[in-house]
Chains A and B, each alone.
Chain A
Amino acid sequence: MITRKKIIYAILILSPLVCIFFSLFIGRFPLSVPLVVKILWSKLAMSASSLPDKYNTVIWEIRMPRAILGALVGGSLAISGAAFQGLFRNPLVSSGILGVSSGAGFGAALAILIFNSTSYTYIFAFCFGGLAVLLSYLIGRVYNTTPAIMLVLGGVIVSSVFSALISFAKYVADPYNQLPTIVFWLMGSLASARYHDFIIGGIPMTIGIIGLIAIRWRINVLSMGDKEARSLGIDTALNKGIVIICATLATAGAVCVSGIIGWVGLVMPHIGRMLVGNDNKLLIPASLSLGACFLILVDNLGRVITGSEIPLGILTALVGGPFFVYLLKKTKGGGW
């Protein structure tokens, strides 16, 4: 039993690393295995590289940050999706349930409208994502407590308001310049990933992920419903608050660097449920790992499949859908 658990944890930790390594070879500029290893080694060993600078740039400035960011974004979306599903006792909930995606989308669109460039989209997207969740939370507090169903309802209301605002932003945007920028941003992409993204997106994602991993077992108890959780000795307001804040930080961080990527936050937790079961102690790390691997792989696919890159939001559903059906058939739904 213990050894099986160790093996699972080892797989969960190693597979995103393997995916990141694998993605270093993929792209327009061909690099062989020994060459990549050599480039990686020369940087790690701090020795002067004898190779041309462009190799270093491709690996260290383009592919590596993109792969790491992809892992963080996919992991964040999946882990917050799993946490929200447990918290709201609803398997159909995803990371965007409290309106963070639509809020962030509107923030980005607003930034593009106001500044006519993409330089402030990160910060706007992040702030509006957080604002949307705060609004959902306040709406959900009508009874002084926060019953799960009221929070979900609050999220639905806030999401639809921000979706309308996004449409409005598109409507008033300059159709030759701003509109395409907004539309492409909303489709999601990691193409512009650089290290400075880590400061804006990476820090909240990391904090959120660590928080959710720390509190993961408590999500089991919260999923029993308020009354039972309290009778089991849990301060539901505090625990819920921590889960919501962590999941929001992770999702908002992800959305602000990558745009809106659907599907990952809904389906990766379910694939996790089929593979490791429903105990959040294992499910939360499994979702993190699966989300990370999935997004790196899909991003790689998007880079090579056609001459120009295919937006991530499109590919995640196109690739993930059939894969999910396959898994459903194979595992018979894993107890559902």
Chain B
Amino acid sequence: MIEVINGSFSYEKSRVFKDLSFQVNKGEIFCIVGPNGCGKTTLLDCILGILKLDEGEILINKKQLKEIPPREIAREVAYVPQMHTKTFPYTVLDIVLMGRASHMGIFSSPSAQDRDIAGQALELVGMADFINRPYTQLSGGEGQLVMIARALAQKTPVIIMDEPTAHLDFKHELTVLETVIQLVRQTDLSIIMATHFPNHAFYFENSGINTSVALMDQMTFSAVGRPTEVLSEDNLMSLYQINAKVVSCLLDNNTELRQIVPLNTVNGRTTFEEGCKI
């Protein structure tokens, strides 16, 4: 689906990443994990065609990204932003209809067919009842689901999500993750997701989705692979300089649950044991 080969990028003089290579297959969720400022968003911007690689190439469906005109990139890759700055109180439908822009001429407006597609997209994320609500009045989680619906309305094989659960509470975080899982199951989408929570990768893997995780550190991927292999205590130590415990238990329905429990920073002021005493 998407292949990045030896990609390098720098802003002016500061290098962000170098010689990155990976590929994302159909129906796969590809999680990119890494500390703040490691270049996750920059990498996503390159795949979206907003920034251009200095070296290397990005292939979408075997086509060179740099040879695809901007409008057609938007038919291959859709984008769910991290935090959307809301300006005017558009209705939820207006927002989702914007996903149809790449399928329309410059001087045209959405057709009845576009409205149908937008309605179906809202249906898929379970937000159909909100169709005429001003999106400025939605909660953070509902807003994020609307953004996912907008990306779905773009009808692309790939969706890129930049920390889609940032600022969400437990329930809304789970709603977004569950929606993502359901979409991958139903539609064979590929999803590239930058996240601050390595546990998300475990969550997808636990749900039986084809999941890969990449640890982004020091301008490159220090490890890429299945969450169970990559998200080890040693790797978390070198990525975040933290002590963590990977725990595993069986759930009632006999599926395995794996989670990372972060304990303390390497140079931390309290160790876990001391913390327990307090």
Contact = CB atoms under 8 A, between A and B. Distances in A.
Contact of A224 (B98, B102, B106, B134): B98
A56 interface: no
Interface in A232-275: 232-235, 238-239, 242, 273
A231 B153 CA distance: 13
A283 to B, nearest CB: 9
Interface core residue of B73, B97, B103, B107 (most chain A CB under 10 Å):
B107
B63 to A, nearest CB: 16
Contacts of A216: 109
A281 B109 contact: yes
Given A220-B98, A221-B101, A231 B84 contact: no
A234 B101 CA distance: 7
Contacts of B107: 214-215
A233 B154 CA distance: 9
Nearest to B49: A230
Nearest to B137: A335
Given A230-B48, A233-B101, A278 B88 contact: yes
Contacts of A221: 98, 101
Contacts of B154: 232-233
Contacts, number: 92
Nearest to A2: B112
A278 B101 contact: no
Contacts of A89: 85, 87-88
B136 interface: yes
B70 interface: yes
B75 A233 contact: yes
B91 interface: yes
A5 B269 CA distance: 65
Contact of A231 (B50, B87, B91, B136): B50
Nearest to A218: B106
Contacts of B77: 231
Contacts of B136: 335
Contacts of A90: 87
B196 to A, nearest CB: 20
B94 interface: yes
Q: Among the interface residues A91, A223, A233, which one has the most CB atoms of the partner chain B within 10 A?
A: A233
A278 B99 CA distance: 17
A215 B105 CA distance: 10
Interface in A308-336: 334-336
A61 interface: no
The residue among B88, B94, B97, B109 with the most chain A CB atoms within 10 A of its own CB is B88
A4 interface: no
A91 B88 CA distance: 8
A277 interface: yes
Of A86, A215, A277, which is in contact with the most chain B CB atoms at under 10 Å from its CB?
Answer: A277
B79 interface: yes
Given A217-B109, A233-B102, A225 B85 contact: yes
Interface string B146-189: 00001000100000000000000000000000000000000000
Given A217-B108, A217-B109, A231 B79 contact: yes
A51 B82 CA distance: 71
B56 interface: no
A242 B137 CA distance: 32
A225, A238, A335: which has the most chain B beta carbons within 10 Å? A335
A279 interface: yes
A227 interface: yes
B224 to A, nearest CB: 25
B74 A232 contact: yes
Nearest to A334: B89
A273 to B, nearest CB: 8
Contacts of A238: 106
A65 to B, nearest CB: 31
A218 B101 contact: yes
A235 B94 contact: no
B45 to A, nearest CB: 8
Given A220-B97, A234-B101, 17 more contacts: A89-B87, A214-B107, A217-B108, A217-B109, A217-B110, A220-B94, A221-B98, A230-B70, A230-B74, A231-B50, A231-B74, A231-B78, A232-B99, A233-B72, A233-B75, A233-B101, A279-B90
9 contacts: A89-B87, A215-B106, A217-B109, A217-B110, A227-B45, A228-B84, A230-B49, A232-B98, A235-B71
